[in-house]
């Protein structure tokens, strides 16, 4: 029979065990961080009815979505976690308690061209707060504190949360007479950091008929060193603009109260977020030492999450971390902490006789005490068994030979230092626990010294 060459499809992440442990540790930290703020976990189906996922219709989404038929069913793989959330809230609105706070860390699928940092299957880590008819602005100020706490818990230090408000931008466009081109202008200035002010000006004037004076005024404002001061001359000229400025001032004030250090956030009027459904505060988070990576966490306020599924107004605010992409970037930049223990077990138990009962009993005692134990009963030389432990970074070996069995004892060997002690089973458990506690600590991400 002809063998099939094993391969992984382009755009799909597949990790070796040690890296998978690091990735799972990041997910664990995200779950803990989100839970600290009162978010409840949610999981939605990876496959939905195509009409549900494509309720908004056409565009890039329809080009990238994985869509197929099974019998009479028109189905699709979810391409983000926001649309499934909208469906979920609309479907269960009478059973949920609002404001509804949920987090979801799941895989999503997009049939786009695979390239460095771009995946077809990838994890997103989302949080959202959904209100019933209204949602207080305090929630918009709390989101940056969640971003800050989450990334510092992961081990990142040099990052900045950039904040803006879509009402400010839309009001400003109205003041400058750009209401008809607002959507195009919004999407263009969102590219400012990538393509620069000259190209942005050319696109605005040549493609969207923005007057040169208006384009220059807009770009000057976006480049201002003190954005809040630069907004002052425009106050009183547009109601939406004034509301947006007031919201932005409130968010900035509360962010400090929520514990976000001033050197970790800034008001940035260039942050527009290209998606049309954002209506208030918007966020982007960047790594200061690697701006070329772009945003590692983004989101914002929206006023009607589920308008395609229900008449009830369900405003919300949320963020999303592209976890697979972030992990690949951190790995490429050497940020992953390889000193973090990635072993599958804490103790490798090595029976040295044919009688296995004492070794099995000791394995059970370790596990009952919360210590991860692996029993190695293969017919291998002792040196090969220690090599196995070394390759997996298992820190301790427990030896049970004839002498240990006769004395009802265990020899515990520290595979890092080479030291060993022969003690009772109970003492061995305590010895290992103490050693593990001393080794504990560290974060998945370890930034190079500045």
* Residues of the binding site: 80-82, 110, 124, 128, 273, 277-278
Instruction: Find all residues with CB under 8 Å of 399, minimum gap 6, and list them.
Output: 350, 352, 410, 411, 412, 413, 420
The tokens for 356 are: 């296995």
The tokens for 311 are: 């008449």
Strand, helix or coil for residue 379:
coil
Q: How many CA atoms lie within 13 A of 386 on its CB side?
A: 11
The tokens for 303 are: 């006023």
Q: How many CA atoms lie within 13 A of 385 on its CB side?
A: 20
110-142 CB burial, b ≥16 within 10 A, e <16: beeeeeeeebbbbbbbbbbbbbbeebebebbbb
Note whether 305 and 86 are within 8 A (CB).
yes
Binding site residues for L-histidine, as ranges? 80-82, 110, 124, 128, 273, 277-278
306: phi > 0 → left, psi -120 to 50 → alpha, else beta; which? alpha
Q: What is the largest CA-CA distance in the chain?
A: 93
Strands (E) in 303-401, as ranges, are 316-322, 347-351, 373-375, 396-400
As a whole number of angstroms, the distance between CA 269 and CA 387 comes to 57
Note whether 283 and 161 are within 8 A (CB).
yes
As a whole number of angstroms, the distance between CA 67 and CA 44 comes to 17
List the one residue out of 392, 342, 372, 390 whose CA is nearest residue 433: 372
Strands (E) in 340-395, as ranges, are 347-351, 373-375
């Amino acid at each position: 029979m002809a063998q099939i060459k094993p391969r992984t499809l382009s755009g799909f992440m597949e990790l070796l065990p040690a890296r998978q442990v690091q990735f799972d540790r990041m997910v664990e930290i995200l779950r803990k961080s989100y839970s600290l703020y009162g978010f409840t976990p949610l999981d939605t189906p990876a496959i939905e009815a195509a009409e549900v996922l494509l309720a908004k219709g056409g565009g890039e989404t329809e080009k990238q979505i994985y869509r197929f038929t099974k019998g009479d069913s028109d189905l699709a793989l979810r391409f983000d976690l926001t649309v499934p959330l909208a469906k979920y809230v609309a479907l269960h609105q009478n059973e949920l308690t609002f404001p509804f706070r949920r987090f979801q860390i799941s895989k999503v699928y997009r049939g786009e061209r695979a390239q460095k940092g771009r995946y077809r299957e990838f994890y997103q880590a989302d949080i959202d707060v959904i209100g019933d008819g209204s949602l207080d602005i305090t929630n918009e100020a709390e989101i940056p504190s969640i971003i800050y706490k989450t990334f510092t818990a992961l081990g990142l230090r040099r990052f900045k949360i950039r904040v803006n408000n879509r009402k400010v931008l839309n009001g400003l466009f109205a003041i400058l007479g750009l209401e008809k081109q607002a959507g195009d202008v919004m999407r263009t200035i969102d590219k400012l950091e990538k393509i620069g002010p000259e190209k942005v000006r050319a696109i605005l004037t040549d493609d969207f008929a923005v007057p040169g004076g208006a384009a220059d005024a807009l770009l000057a404002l976006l480049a201002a060193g003190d954005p809040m001061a630069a907004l002052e001359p425009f106050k009183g000229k547009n109601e939406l603009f004034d509301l947006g400025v007031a919201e932005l001032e409130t968010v900035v004030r509360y962010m400090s109260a929520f514990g976000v250090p001033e050197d970790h956030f800034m008001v940035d009027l260039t942050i527009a977020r290209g998606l049309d459904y954002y209506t208030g505060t918007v966020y982007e988070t960047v790594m200061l030492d690697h701006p070329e990576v772009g945003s590692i966490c983004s989101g914002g306020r929206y006023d009607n999450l589920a308008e395609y599924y229900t008449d009830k107004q369900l405003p919300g605010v949320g963020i999303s971390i592209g976890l697979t992409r972030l992990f690949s970037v951190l790995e490429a930049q050497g940020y992953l902490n390889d000193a973090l223990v990635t072993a599958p077990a804490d103790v490798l138990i090595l029976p040295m006789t044919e009688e296995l009962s004492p070794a099995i009993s000791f394995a059970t005692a370790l596990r009952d005490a919360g210590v991860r134990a692996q029993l190695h009963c293969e017919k291998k030389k002792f040196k090969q068994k220690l090599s196995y432990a070394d390759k997996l970074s298992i820190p301790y070996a427990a030896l049970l030979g004839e002498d240990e069995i006769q004395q009802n004892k265990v020899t515990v060997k520290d595979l890092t230092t080479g030291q060993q002690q022969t003690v009772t089973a109970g003492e061995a458990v305590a010895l290992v626990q103490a050693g593990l506690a001393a080794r504990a600590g560290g974060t998945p991400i370890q930034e190079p010294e500045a």
